[in-house]
Structure 1
Amino acid sequence: MSEILTQLDLLQQQIPVPQWYSVLPAPIRVVLWVIGLPTLIIGLNVFRQVALPRNKNLPPVVFHYIPWFGSAAYYGEDPYKFFFECREKYGDLFTFILMGRRVTVALGPKGNNLSLGGKTSQVSAEDAYTHLTTPVFGKGVVYDCPNEMLMQQKKFIKSGLTTEALQSYPPLIRDECQEYFANTLGINPSRPSSKKVDLLHAMAELIILTASRTLQGKEVRESLNGSFAKLFEDLDGGFTPLNFMFPNLPLPSYKRRDVAQKAMSDFYMKIIENRRKGETDHEHDMIASLQGCKYRNGVPLTDRDISHIMIALLMAGQHTSSATSSWALLHLADSPELYESLYQEQRTKFGNPDGTFRDLTYEDIKECKLLDATIRETLRMHAPIHSIYRKVMSDIPVPPSLSAPSEQASYVIPKGHYIMAAPGVSQMDPLIWQDSKVFTPTRWLDEAGVAAAAVEQYSKSEQVDYGFGAVSKGTESPYQPFGAGRHRCVGEQFAYTQLSTIITYIVRNYTMKLEVPEFPKTNYRTMIVQPMNPLVSFTLRKQEV
């Protein structure tokens, strides 16, 4: 107590206080400071927002009580509720305070285009994300290199995802599904034929198994039951909102992340070394495709670069695909009629006279219209990433269409701000989509509907080559399931192949039932939007494939 009073006396010498304060008992003086100082700070912050004139060239700032902390709690608990409520008050463009950062949100297709379609001289994904991704992926790749190099790295990856490679994946994915359900989950004729499962946990395991068997290579797949699994778990622990906001905390999880990153990188290096020596038999996987790749200036990818790219592929695809497959299966478990329709689609197209099915091929996937619609509707309602950040590198003049109509001057987003896109808002906007909160896959089967027009705008809009081959820019589409612009995901076709094959295997072989009283709510406290308490039961169908 004496030390506290000494500090308060020093502060009192700098801030004049009433005479009566000095005669108060010491405990009361401490309480007054503890309560009074924060109250004063909050009061001044409120006064500044409501009483002082604001710069009308800047977007309006979301009202908040606590400086620095800002709207962190409001935004973090339910980002979409925050976005839609702020849109009602401020329009499609507004700024909020997030742990000392000034984040300007640009909503709607025009807002998405402002951020995701911005020039590299104005917006930077590298400066927004490198502090999160570099400790996990490793140095020299993705956001730890100039954008021009990243675009070339995406081209290297895209060159490994050939049609021939994609055609080889469905049988491998099916085999992994069969092994996982029969042995890991234990749902087969010789064991209990029904089991309650945490769907998110199961899909996380199945996604990494199928990705390792296809993209990652035989050596990675064979190591998933050993030390590699623990390394992945520790590395995954460094991919959280806490790491994004505070990248350098002295926490044990950060230490485990760093140790795991080095060990996993060395693991891939060893695979490459053994292959170069001819000491291992392998298929033409992504590692083989990356070996020998060179940048335009003639500099080859190093073994360490390849290792880090492989880690990035593993981590980036793992979270998004496990979340999306979980959401899709939850909706199917909650919609028995839709589930039966998917089964009948498989029976009609691929059923054999004896009641079995023929194996699904890459070409077959494109014929499954209802399956495709189910995946699209899942991605519409459950965008894996609710917020996409860019660092503002130079002032961004805002088009009049995004400025408030009552303002005489157009807005400018200043250098040093962050600009945020939220494609999920457009995908759930009731002004665009009829019954936007209702899971309705059939909307994607209407060739004259909003959904078809959105796909057309996403897939067949202006073609741009950012350095990894011509792609549809797609930044003004209200539907952007795999991002848009220069950072559009190059693994889109692989993701569809993986998700389609897994869902098809489950539909053919099992029935599902939701094992919770209501449809699972959304957990927004993770980097990827995930379901909470996603319990379902799988029951083996009478006819086994």
Structure 2
Amino acid sequence: MAVLVAVGQALAALVALVLGSVVVNVAWQLLAPRDPSKPPLVFHYVPVLGCAVSYGMDPLGFLEDCKAKYGPVFTYPLLGRRITAALGPLGSNFVLNGKLAHVNAEEAYTHLTTPVFGTEVVYDVPNHVLMEQKKFVKFGLTTDNFRRYVGLIRTEVRDYINKHVYLENTRKTGSGIDAFNTSSEITILTASATLQGSEVRAAMDKSFAQLYHDLDGGFTPLNFVFPNLPLPSYRRRDRAQLKMREFYVSILEKRRNSLDEPPLDMLTALQNQQYKTGEPLTDKQIAHIMIALLMAGQHTSAATGAWAILRLGENQDLQRRLYAEQFEHFYDADKGEWRDLEYETLQTPLLNAFIKELLRMHPPLHSLMRKIISDCPVPATVASPSAEPHASPEFKKRNEGVEYVVPKGEFVLAAPGYSQVDESIWGADAKNFRTERWLEGSKVPGEEDEGEEDYGWGKISKGGKSAYLPFGAGRHRCIGEQFAYVQLGVIIATLVRENSWTLDQAFPGNDYTTMIVMPAKPRNVTFTKREGVKA
């Protein structure tokens, strides 16, 4: 009895403490004088936890609500962190093209990526070293390689569909297959057959799949917030990372000891590279770069491929039109057979428009963060009322010409995914999937020529002011962008040529419980093999 009383008293004290902290937190927000040099703070009840629940359930909806109340620049607390969102194209440019003296991507993400990718690469190294590593990777992303990859990707897609999809349809009559699982398996097979190399493709058995699964378990929001918890999944992540590194190193050693000409793949491109200092790229670093390419590319491409399958399953007319386009461009009526897909002719008008709209509506990463390493001024143009026509009159009066400062140690967030569906930018149909918008000759809002810059891995468009940034902008723009278009284009064209499919339920919503935005379950489709070829 005494124990129960003690437990009850402890619980009562805990409840009183929580309620007291809520009361103090609310009173502070309502009564404390506001620092005009800082962005408006989003109202929240629970300290530390902050806006985690509302942001985690629907991040884009949360950002939209806050923008209506506070304008395009505001700060919200999230699990002990203070994050300043800078919305709109100008906000994206401010964050993604920010000065290295002020914003830092490495410190924002290294606690998540380094345990998965490995040390001495990506965000575990200074920015100038990362730029050199991206240049090394670019050597494996040549036009000649892309030409070879087209045929390899097509073969993998056909083999997978024939061996797995139709068999599953037979086993589960009427239930269809999971679009994301199908896309994920096709993506990793096509990536391993091209970028990763023949040895990796040959090892795509249960043991390698388990390694990938265990390593993938370390790429979740929980790992981002709490990178070093004493949990079994964390230990499995660490063991898998070590074994996968050893796997790649063993391939490198075998290639060196072989008299055969090495294959033209990413491993070959990375071998014998050296930094500007003359220091060689080590086997360990090569292995970790390969893991980074596998993990980062797999997540984003698998999600995009799943959305593609679902969108075409939902829109039968668009699926038929894509098939008709393939027939028009690639079917040889005299020989009665399909011509091979080729890199130079892959991006037909409708297919290209469909992929663009897919990435507009379903970017794998809706938001990108940087850590502030030195007090960072936010230009008045980013937070001005002219940047947000829907801001409240109070905000407009208060913030006209104001330049905020985000303190060192906090974070800034750009949300290209929000800009890509913003009705004030794209019009009333911004949230509707409409492929035709890319066939009408209209330009992407804000995509004026901003010039090019070489960050150490070749000249690219700075492009941060664009309202369409599915691959990011600036020095951290995704280096795999061109490969992603090739991979996705070949997968869609191959599926459409040889299959038709239908969506088995209503179109799914977004699943925000993972680091990449995936379609929520159920997300099933039913494939049917095309019989013959029809115009």
Q: Displacement, 1:41?
A: 1.0
Structure 2 unaligned segments of length 5 or more: list them. Answer: 385-395
Structure 1 CA distance, aligned partners of 2:9 and 2:438? 66
What are the within-5 Å matches in structure 2 for residues 361-400 of structure 1?
A: 361-366=342-347, 368-400=348-380
Q: Which structure has the larger Rg over C-alpha atoms?
A: 1
Q: Aligned with 2:162: secondary structure?
A: helix
Aligned to 2:391: none
Q: Shift in Å at residue 185 of structure 1?
A: 2.1
The correspondence for 1:289, drawn from 269, 273, 295, is: 269
Structure 1 portions without partners, runs of 5+: 6-25
1:21 maps to none
Shift of 1:225: 1.2
Give me the TM-score of the superposition, normalised by structure 2: 0.93
Identify the residue that residue 356 of structure 1 maps to in structure 2: 337
Deviations 1:15-69 (A, max 9, x none): xxxxxxxxxxx78755642332221110010000011111111001111110000
SS at match of 2:340: coil
Counterpart in the other structure of 1:529: 517
- The corresponding residue for 1:490 is 479
Secondary structure in 1 matching 2:123? coil
Task: Give the counterpart letter for 1:446 in structure 2.
Answer: E
2:159 matched residue in structure 1: 179
User: Which residue of structure 1 aligns with residue 409 of structure 2?
Assistant: 416
Distance 1:237 1:164, change over 3 A: same
| Residues 341-362 of structure 1: per-residue CA shift (max 9 Å, x gap) | 1011001111121553111000
Task: For 1:189 and 1:415, locate their aligned partners in 2 and report how far apart those are by CA, in whole Å.
Answer: 55
Shift of 1:196: 1.2
Partner of 1:324: 304
**1:281 CA drift (Å):** 6.7
Q: Which letter does structure 1 place at the counterpart of 2:37?
A: N
1:318-347 residue CA offsets vs partner (Å, 9 max, x unmatched): 010010111112111111111111011001
Mapped to 2, the partners of 1:423 and 1:505 lie a distance apart of 30
Query: Which structure 2 residues correspond to residues 307-318 of structure 1 after superposition, within 5 A?
Result: 307-318=287-298
Structure 1 stretches of 4+ moved >3 Å: 1-5, 26-32, 186-195, 279-282
Aligned partners of 1:188, 1:115: CA distance in 2, in Å? 45
Aligned residues: 518
Distance 1:300 1:293 in 2: 6
Change (3 A) 1:411 1:443: same
Q: Give the deviation of 1:417 after TM superposition.
A: 0.6
Aligned residue for 1:342? Answer: 322
- 1:115 corresponds to which of 95, 108, 111: 95
2-structure distance, mates of 1:142, 1:29: 50
Is residue 441 of structure 1 aligned with residue 422 of structure 2? no
Contact residue 321 and residue 499 of structure 1 kept, 8 A:
yes
- Counterparts of 1:512 and 1:161 in 2: how far apart (Å)? 32
Paired residue for 1:73? 53
Q: How is 1:105-184 mapped onto 2 (pairs within 5 angstroms)? A: 105-184=85-164
Counterpart selection for 2:495 from 484, 500, 506: 506
1:195 and 1:539 in contact (8 A); partners too:
no
Q: Secondary structure at the match of 1:160?
A: coil
Q: State whether structure 2 residue 187 is matched by structure 1 residue 207.
A: yes
What SS does the corresponding residue of 1:59 show, helix, strand or coil? coil
TM-score (normalised: structure 1): 0.91
Equivalent residue number for residue 515 of structure 1: 504
The answer to whether 1:477 aligns with 2:471 is: no
Preserved contact between residue 169 and residue 527 of structure 2 (Cα < 8 Å): no
Indicate the residue corresponding to 1:407 in structure 2.
399
Q: Report how far residue 475 of structure 1 moved.
A: 0.6
Alignment partners' CA distance in 1, 2:118 and 2:456? 22
How far residue 462 of structure 1 moved from its aligned partner, in angstroms, is: 1.2
Q: Is the 8 A contact 1:194 1:540 kept in 2?
A: no
Q: Which residue of 2 aligns with 1:431?
A: 424
Alignment partner of 1:528: what SS?
Answer: coil
Pairwise CA distance, 1:534: 1.3
8 Å CA contact 1:194, 1:538 repeated in 2: no
Partner Cα distance (2:319, 2:49) in 1: 45
Correspondence for 1:8: none
- Map 1:179-328; keep pairs closer than 5 Å: 179-186=159-166, 196-278=176-258, 282-328=262-308
Identity %: 49
Q: Is the 8 A contact 1:193 1:540 kept in 2?
A: no
- State the AA in 2 paired with 1:54: R
Instruction: Measure the CA separation in 1 of the matches of 2:509 and 2:153.
Output: 29
